[in-house]
Amino acid sequence: MLVTALLSGLVLGGTYALVAMGLTLQYGIARIMNLAYGETIIAAAFLAYVLFNGLGINPVLGLLIAVPLGFVFGYLVYGLMMRPLVRRAKSRETLEIDSILATFGLLFVIQGVMLVFFGSNYTSYSYLNIGVSVLGTTIAANRLLAFALAIVLGGGLYLLLTRTLWGTALRAVAVSPTSAPLVGIDVERAARTAFAIGGALAAAGGVVISMYQTFTATAGVVFTMKALIVVIMGGVGNILGALFSGLLLGLVETFVATYVDPGLTLAATYLIFLAILLWRPAGLFGRSAR
Amino acid sequence: MKSLQRRHVLRVMAAASALLATGIAPGALAQDRTSVKIGYAISKTGPNAGGAGITTLPNYQLWVKDVNDAGGLELPDGRKLPIEVIEYDDRSASEELVRAVERLATQDEADFILAPWGTGFNLAAAPLFDRYGYPQLAVSSVTDKAPDFVKRWKRSFWMLGGGHDYAGALAGLIKKAAADGTLNTKVAMISVADGFGIDLVTAARPAFAEAGIELVYDKTYPVGTSDFTPMINEAKASGADSFVAFSYPPDTFALTQQSQVADFNPKLLYLGVGTGFPVYGKNNGDNATGIMSLGGIDPANEANAAYRKRHEEVTGQGPDYWGSVITYASLQMLQEAIKRKGLDREAVSAELSAGTFQTVLGETKMEDNQLRTLWWTGQWQNGQFVGIAPADRAGASQPILPRQAWKK
Amino acid sequence: MTARTLLGLLVAGLVLAALAALPLFAGPYAVTLMIGMTGYVVLATAWGLFSGPTRYVSLATVAFFGIGAYTVGVFSETLPYPLVLLVAALIGLAVALVVGLSTLRLAGVYFVIFTFGLAELIRQLVTWYEVNVTGTLGRYIFLPVTPEGIYWQLLALAAATFLFSWGIGRTRWGLALKVIGDDEVVASHCGIDITRLKLALFAVSAVIITLVGAIQAPRWTYIEPSIAFNPTISFLTLIMALLGGADRLWGPLLGAIPLFLLFEWLSANFPNHYPIILGLVFIAIVFLLPKGVLAAVESRLRKGGAR
């Protein structure tokens, strides 16, 4: 029982981590609190559904289409909507409020467009829904794939950010946007790239989620919330933090469901989240001084 | 004196005719009206949009199209008036719904108002339907309190039964199968912590106890749960032959997939809302066979089959196997009652309550303002979700037990 | 008190009286509309009361709104109505104090997310309690409160909120509040315990919001957590207050009324495209009226005056 709970918790957490990594980039580096993040995820899920059901393209190949589209979408959104706000913002607080409002609007626009195209029905398809035996427990192949993708993408991103000059520049912007230009970093370009990568990760998350979960055009908020919780827990802008807290959250949910009461999983999530906020307001991996 | 009397008589007559005129105003107005206003407020956005978009909205649209294609709503004098639709989005919020219904009644002066989606929303709207004298044909609400509600709101009709009906039928089914030796008397049960799940689970516990069924696992999970592996594993280990989940559509889909993955093969598998969705049959194919849920149809009913076909053609999606056909039937009843009694809402309500109607369900009649001839339990058989309980109802299919194991 | 404030109070009193008389000659739909509008005006103003000066963006509105509504659902059968309202206010106050004491040291977006999480947590706990302890989820409210009664109560609450908001601006605390958002150190030099002041404001704002929920609840007949704790309420309140300008007395009012009417018009005329248009309107507001309607009008006036 313990091994089962542990494994399914990790697998569940893998999805949370994958979804949260994009948001942590968008908020940590681009400084945009993107409330429409979940809608991007759902849009990608619909794309995967259409590709799979209409054209017979399997979701893993679908990733190759969805991820670049997500990147372009993020790039455009930042360039058209966010840049004017960033330029106009006098302080971080004003930008935060402006971006919350603007992306809240964007949330409705994307959701509305999806409602017009797909209606409000529950959508799902069946892909790789077979059991795989791991350490004596059976786990769905599609969830295992999701977990693997989360680790690969997260690990790759982490290496990219820590081992390349380009990644270091991005991280410099996250740490200190005011002094980054002093060392010749184009903050705006870095922010836009980070936002676009965030969009690409959201798209990846959407495709992965669509492989095993039912979704509706209006379900985006749930994902935004889960992602936000993971981001805050892990520390804003911290990829490794997002990965770790995503897994932690998955474990907590599964353990509570197994050993306490399935009815308290969500309550436990929020409780832990609130506790971490109070205990370490900058997140488990965040620096205490911002 | 004489003239005074005459004047008095005249005055009384004038008053009387004025009274009469107001009394028959709807009829008088109907002479020069060109359409019948039918309004509804429904969740087009927000968390309820998924449910409303399957069971309720497509049927409203289909019915309006059917009626208007046939020339309109027929009135007692044989004239036909086209339906003019007024549609609002309640955004899945009670306050918005209340305001929209009030607006339909007082501002738009709709001739009839169709019911919203969901138990809570039908209850929120009921006092308004009552105050403004509109009949309320509440289909998508499962409630055991319907007998109380019809006393409180005389023009309300509750057409999908209550938790006790569904739970009782299931308990009876398991009891019978256990007596045959097909199943053991142990049941593992999970339920969603929301209106529907709670209603059914509180009805199921005593029903199972009464039937001598032992609940070996009984847990509730919150709305939005996506990973059911822990619960499936517990149920698998519990030694129960029957697994019952009073679940919502996303949960139902997830449970189906995850049970396959876990190779969890209870002899009786009963899932909640969503099992009767057309997409469920499509996604699961032959694996759906044997899975039970609420609702069902009589596969031999040709009117129903024709309705299902038309629904798919017109709205682009199939109807679900539980509330859809009842929703459409409720509209047919309204249509027929209008044909018999005109646009007088009081008379139409009385007719709905007392009359007998030919609908896609066959002969349909309210009992104490409730529709009681329903399929309490259904099962997927040969690509259709057919009614199996009550077993003594005409058209009932035989349950297939034990259910086949998942095919891979 | 100067003659000008007296005049102001008099005008406010007259407007209030006129609004209170509205149901006597307007139809039931107008009353319904006014209930929704007044409800949001109070919510947005109460929100601005705390968030305007402190710049804490709170999404806990629906947590308190829901507490109010749910309290009515629980006690409507057993307690007389005024007492139910009192109990609701007290519960709101208690929760606000606990939450305020533990969270007001969080800053920026952390507070935003915390308050959102709080609303969800309370909703989950209520659900869990109802499911496991009472065994039912829905609560019925059969109170003989008419729409007019609800409207009048909301109006009275609105008046009280504005009076409080206006009154506090004229005190020593008001002075501290004016600088608190810019510089807490300066604010504390006014000789005021800033933390206590923030806590008090949070509590007052929360109690008002709780009462809105409690007053509106009888309109729904039936309450369950998903109905009482509907997160859109938090978002709409926030948007309305920010549109008008949260740091001014009349700002939230000026945001709530046009937005409320806009939403009503949209959902009636464009039920299928409502979210798209709503979203575009939001984005337009952020770009065109970044500091709220009131600030935009003021700067326009100032420019006109200078010319």
Nearest to C113 among A92, A106, A232 (CB): A232
Nearest chain C Cα distance for residue A22, angstroms: 17
User: In this model, does residue B60 exceed pLDDT 90?
Assistant: yes
Rounded to the nearest integer, the mean pLDDT of chain B is 86
The bridge status of strand B362-365 relative to strand B356-359 is: antiparallel
- What is the rounded average pLDDT of the residues C9-16? 85
Predicted pLDDT at C99:
87
Nearest chain C Cα distance for residue A79, angstroms: 14
Rounded to the nearest integer, the mean pLDDT of chain C is 83
The reply to whether residue A262 touches residue B230, judged by beta carbons under 8 angstroms, is: yes
Chain B residue closest in CA terms to A226: B224
Domain range summary for chain B, segments of one domain joined by +:
34-162+301-365, 163-300+376-389
Domain range summary for chain A, segments of one domain joined by +:
2-220
Asked if B310 reaches chain A (Cβ–Cβ under 8 Å), the answer is no
Chain segment A180-202, per-residue pLDDT in tens: 777 777 778 888 888 899 999 99
Q: Is C170 exposed, middle or buried (0-12, 13-18, 19+ CB in 10 A)?
A: exposed
Residues of A in contact with B229 (CB under 8 A): 4, 8, 139, 254
Of A69-83, A120-134, B137-151, the one with minimum mean pLDDT is A120-134
Chain segment A6-60, per-residue pLDDT in tens: 887 888 888 888 888 889 888 888 888 888 899 999 999 999 999 988 888 888 8
CATH of domain B34-162+301-365: 3.40.50.2300
The reply to whether residue B261 touches residue A140, judged by beta carbons under 8 angstroms, is: yes
- CB contacts under 8 A, C 36-65 vs A, are 55, 57
Residues of B in contact with A122 (CB under 8 A): 50, 54, 249-250, 253, 274, 277, 279
For residue B354, give the amino acid letter: A
Q: How many CB atoms lie within 10 A of CB C11?
A: 10
The reply to whether residue A112 touches residue C120, judged by beta carbons under 8 angstroms, is: no
* Residue A217 pLDDT grade (very low, low, confident, very high; cuts 50, 70, 90): confident
- What is the rounded average pLDDT of the residues C77-91? 91
List the single best residue of C219, C229, C234, C272 to mutate versus B (max B Cβ within 10 A): C219
- Which is more confidently placed, A210 or C89? C89
* Residue B2 pLDDT grade (very low, low, confident, very high; cuts 50, 70, 90): very low
Chain segment A104-139, per-residue pLDDT in tens: 888 888 988 888 888 777 777 777 767 777 777 777
% of chain A exceeding 70 in pLDDT: 96
Predicted pLDDT at C181:
64
User: In this model, does residue B23 exceed pLDDT 70?
Assistant: no
Of A264-268, B92-96, B346-350, C64-68, the one with minimum mean pLDDT is A264-268
Residues of B in contact with C226 (CB under 8 A): 47, 120, 194-195, 223
The reply to whether residue A122 touches residue B44, judged by beta carbons under 8 angstroms, is: no
Predicted pLDDT at C212:
95
The reply to whether residue B54 touches residue A121, judged by beta carbons under 8 angstroms, is: yes
Chain A residue closest in CA terms to C276: A109
User: In this model, does residue B35 exceed pLDDT 70?
Assistant: yes
- What is the rounded average pLDDT of the residues B111-136? 91
- What is the rounded average pLDDT of the residues B300-327? 91
Nearest chain A Cα distance for residue B288, angstroms: 13
Predicted pLDDT at B19:
43
Q: Is C56 exposed, middle or buried (0-12, 13-18, 19+ CB in 10 A)?
A: buried
Q: How far apart are CA A45 and CA A49, in angstroms?
A: 6
Task: Name the fold adopted by B163-300+376-389.
Answer: Rossmann fold (3.40.50)
Predicted pLDDT at C47:
92
The reply to whether residue C124 touches residue A264, judged by beta carbons under 8 angstroms, is: yes
Asked if A211 reaches chain B (Cβ–Cβ under 8 Å), the answer is no
Predicted pLDDT at B4:
45
Of A93-102, C92-101, C257-266, the one with minimum mean pLDDT is A93-102
Residues of A in contact with B250 (CB under 8 A): 122, 213-216
Backbone torsion region of residue B316, taken as left when φ is above 0, otherwise alpha when ψ lies between -120 and 50, otherwise beta: left
User: In this model, does residue B12 exceed pLDDT 60?
Assistant: no
List the single best residue of C102, C110, C126, C236 to mutate versus A (max A Cβ within 10 A): C110
Of A6-20, B165-179, C149-163, the one with minimum mean pLDDT is A6-20
Residues of A in contact with C55 (CB under 8 A): 93
Predicted pLDDT at A289:
37
- What is the rounded average pLDDT of the residues A227-248? 84
Of B33-37, B369-373, C18-22, the one with minimum mean pLDDT is C18-22
Chain B residue closest in CA terms to A259: B230
Asked if B61 reaches chain A (Cβ–Cβ under 8 Å), the answer is no
Nearest chain B Cα distance for residue C222, angstroms: 6
Structure tokens at C179: 């600088």
Nearest chain C Cα distance for residue A69, angstroms: 21
Asked if A262 reaches chain B (Cβ–Cβ under 8 Å), the answer is yes
- What is the rounded average pLDDT of the residues C40-66? 89
Residues C114/B170, Cβ–Cβ less than 8 Å: no
* Residue A290 pLDDT grade (very low, low, confident, very high; cuts 50, 70, 90): very low
Q: How far apart are CA C298 and CA C241, in angstroms?
A: 17
Asked if A27 reaches chain C (Cβ–Cβ under 8 Å), the answer is yes
List the single best residue of A39, A114, A218, A271 to mutate versus B (max B Cβ within 10 A): A218
User: In this model, does residue A278 exceed pLDDT 80?
Assistant: no
Residues of C in contact with B98 (CB under 8 A): 32, 219-220
Nearest chain C Cα distance for residue B99, angstroms: 6
The bridge status of strand B268-270 relative to strand B242-246 is: parallel
User: In this model, does residue B87 exceed pLDDT 60?
Assistant: yes
Residue B384: in which H helix or E strand, if any? strand B384-389
User: In this model, does residue A174 exceed pLDDT 80?
Assistant: no
- Which is more confidently placed, C297 or A54? A54
Structure tokens at B369: 């303002």
Closest CA to C209 of C70, C16, C45: C45
Phi, psi of B113 (to 5 degrees): -120, 130
Of A167-176, C87-96, C127-136, C296-305, the one with minimum mean pLDDT is C296-305
Q: How far apart are CA B218 and CA B240, in angstroms?
A: 12
* Residue B222 pLDDT grade (very low, low, confident, very high; cuts 50, 70, 90): confident
User: In this model, does residue B110 exceed pLDDT 60?
Assistant: yes
Angle in degrees, CA C253, C258, C260, rounded to 5: 90
Chain segment C166-212, per-residue pLDDT in tens: 888 788 777 777 777 666 666 666 667 778 888 898 999 999 999 99
Closest CA to A206 of A79, A53, A44: A44
Q: Is B306 exposed, middle or buried (0-12, 13-18, 19+ CB in 10 A)?
A: exposed
Of A184-198, B27-41, B279-293, B323-337, the one with minimum mean pLDDT is B27-41
Q: How far apart are CA C240 and CA B234, in angstroms?
A: 48
Predicted pLDDT at C304:
57
Contacts of B396 (CB under 8 A, 6+ apart): B298, B387, B388, B389, B390
Asked if C109 reaches chain A (Cβ–Cβ under 8 Å), the answer is yes
Predicted pLDDT at C147:
85
Asked if C276 reaches chain A (Cβ–Cβ under 8 Å), the answer is yes
* Residue A288 pLDDT grade (very low, low, confident, very high; cuts 50, 70, 90): very low
Asked if B273 reaches chain A (Cβ–Cβ under 8 Å), the answer is no
The reply to whether residue A254 touches residue B47, judged by beta carbons under 8 angstroms, is: no
Residues of C in contact with A102 (CB under 8 A): 282-283, 286-287
Chain segment C92-112, per-residue pLDDT in tens: 999 999 888 877 777 666 787
Nearest to C280 among A88, A109, A264 (CB): A109
Asked if B260 reaches chain A (Cβ–Cβ under 8 Å), the answer is yes
User: In this model, does residue B281 exceed pLDDT 90?
Assistant: no
The reply to whether residue B44 touches residue C271, judged by beta carbons under 8 angstroms, is: yes
User: In this model, does residue A144 exceed pLDDT 80?
Assistant: yes
**Which residues in B271-341 belong to E strands, given as ranges?**
292-293
Predicted pLDDT at C171:
80
- Which is more confidently placed, C206 or C245? C206
User: In this model, does residue B18 exceed pLDDT 50?
Assistant: no
Chain B residue closest in CA terms to A115: B45
What are the structural domains, with CATH classification, of chain C? 3-306 (1.10.3470)
User: In this model, does residue B22 exceed pLDDT 50?
Assistant: no
Predicted pLDDT at C182:
64
Structure tokens at B344: 């007088």
Q: Please, where are the H alpha helices in B78-133?
A: 94-102, 119-131
